[in-house]
Structure 1
């Protein structure tokens, strides 16, 4: 199954490691360090088109992980993932 995470980006659900609220998580030094290191490695993709509200950490075949910055909030992403499962 796939999850639309904003703009024109669709990812395979089995690759998702976690979906995180950027406002709540960015207060943690560890999260800021993680995002900074991921940005330096070039594995952060800003697909928000505006101010990002969440970030999605995914497994990737060519990188250890990839981080997507999304303009959608975590509850919207969660609802999308759950509604897809109910359709089956």
Structure 2
């Protein structure tokens, strides 16, 4: 199943490693270091300040959609798979 993460982009739910809210990402030195290390893989989908960070195997996305909304979407997908 796919999850819409912003700007007409859908990614496979099973490819998602982590979804972080903006505040957690900003206040964590580990996440900050991770983003700097993977800067060439970061794709900003937000025209305004991003609301969440989505980490996959291949890319890191800065999404305009809140992490809570993305969590709800992923939960709905899991229900529909059964």
Please report the TM-score for the alignment, with normalisation by the length of structure 2.
Answer: 0.90
Q: How many residues are treated as equivalent by the alignment?
A: 81
Asked whether the 8 Å contact 1:56–1:70 carries over to 2, the reply is yes
Deviates more, 1:24-33 or 1:11-20: 24-33
Higher helix share: 2
Is 1:75 the counterpart of 2:73 in the alignment?
A: no
Structure 2: segments with no counterpart, 5+ residues: none
Please report the TM-score for the alignment, with normalisation by the length of structure 1.
Answer: 0.84
CA displacement at 1:86 relative to structure 2: 2.0
Q: Deviations over 1:17-70 (max 9, x none)?
A: 01011212211111111111111xx1000011211010100013xxxxx10000
Structure 1: segments with no counterpart, 5+ residues: 61-65
